[in-house]
Amino acid sequence: MTRAKNRFKLFRKLIVYKLKSRHRKGFGIHSPAIFSLVNKGFSEDCDISVKIGATAYKQTLKRVTKSIPRSTFGAGSLLSPNTKPTTPAAINREIGISKKHGELLYKLSTFYGRDGILELGTGLGSATYYLASGSPTSRVITVEGHRDYAETAKAVLEQIGITNIDIRVETFTNETKRIKEENGRLGLFFIDGDHSYTPTLEHFKQCTEIGTEDAVIIIDDIHWSDDMDRAWKSIKEYSSCRVSVDLFRFGIIFTNKKLQKQHYTVRY
Ligand SMILES: C[S@@+](CC[C@H](N)C(=O)[O-])C[C@H]1O[C@@H](n2cnc3c(N)ncnc32)[C@H](O)[C@@H]1O
């Protein structure tokens, strides 16, 4: 599918989401824990220090002027098969998290990051910044297949004083397998790469295998393509998915078995 067709489809899906989404302040959500997240977490503004840090991250990244090749990992690289080297800041503008969703990640990290965080898809580290800032005493493991991206992210985040990150240059599958073999257990996951059907289901399943009993899994771009729509639909049917929250861009899955199975489409 061409990029223009994909954008048009995405726009149509966004209109449907705007019409269907509810629970803006959490009203109608039965689970107290999820009510409090939507009612309080989603609406509260982010700490000013987090906003200042995000600006420092961008400025520091801009100062890295050496061009690097674009990643060939994942479905995004198939849609725009441009591997021409460019600056990390330019690449980050294409793949990095927006301010609005970065701040949401920060809040989700403050709520659920206590038992450790795993991000699949570091890119240049923009989302890693928000995840690590939300839980400064937790370890954030972040996995990136492209060495140049990983090394740049590490250098930039360290320069702005983010120290609780552990960047691993590996494929998502190999790294999650390794964590499982080491009996690692983590509480919050952010899947942000390889956005196609089979890999998304596979990575989701791998995250549930290394998640704590109340793990929360965030998936980015759940409506980005027909493939991702299908993946989101399949994941919601899994028994490991107890509550799902569709925010259009992010899908959030709560895996705690004590929760009654329920699906929400929340206006964000
Ligand atoms: C959308 S970008 C991540 C953006 C990043 N989270 C941010 O907010 O700035 C996806 C990244 O995942 C990496 N990636 C995709 N599939 C991968 C895989 N199977 N194993 C390792 N890295 C992968 C790509 O190289 C790319 O850097």
Q: Number of structural domains, the chain?
A: 1
Exposed/middle/buried for 184, CB within 10 Å: 0-12, 13-18, 19+?
Answer: middle
Q: Which atom of ligand 1 is nearest to the CA of 97?
A: 8
Q: What is the pLDDT of residues 134-161, one digit of tens each?
A: 999 999 999 999 999 999 999 999 999 9
Residue 34: domain span:
3-265
Q: Name the residue with the closest Cα to ligand 1, atom 4.
A: 123
Q: Which domain CATH number covers 203?
A: 3.40.50.150
**Do the bridges between strand 262-265 and strand 250-254 make them parallel or antiparallel, or are there none, so unpaired?**
unpaired
Please determine, for residue 60, whether its predicted confidence score (pLDDT) is greater than 60. Answer: yes
Measured by CA distance, the residue closest to atom 9 of ligand 1 is: 96
The residue nearest atom 24 of ligand 1, judged by CA position, is 73
For residue 126, what are the contacts with CB-CB under 8 A and spacing of at least 6? 57, 92, 96, 97, 102
Calculate the average pLDDT of the chain: 92
Confidence of residue 164 (pLDDT cuts 50, 70, 90): very high
Say if ligand 1 is within 6 A of residue 71 CB: yes
Res 82 pLDDT > 60: yes
User: Tokens 């995000």, residue?
Assistant: 54
The whole-angstrom distance between residue 47's C-alpha and the CA centroid of its chain comes to 20
User: How close is the Cα of 199 to the center of ligand 1, in Å?
Assistant: 12
pLDDT band for 42, please (50, 70, 90 cuts). confident
Return the structure tokens found at 256. Answer: 């705690």
Q: Which residues contact 83 (CB under 8 A, 6 or more apart)?
A: 69, 70, 72, 77
Regarding the beta carbon of 207 and ligand 1, being less than 6 Å apart is answered no
Q: Give residue 61's identity as a one-letter amino acid code.
A: L
Report the separation in Å between the CA atom of 77 and the middle of ligand 1, taken as the mean of its atom positions: 10
Sign for the CA dihedral angle at 116, 180, 232, 213 comes to negative
The reply to whether ligand 1 has any atom less than 6 angstroms from the CB of 193 is yes
pTM for the whole thing?
0.94
Residues 186-211, mean pLDDT to the nearest whole number? 97
Instruction: Supply φ then ψ for residue 187, to 5 degrees.
Output: -105, -25
123 close to ligand 1 (CB < 6 Angstrom): yes
pLDDT for 10 equals 87
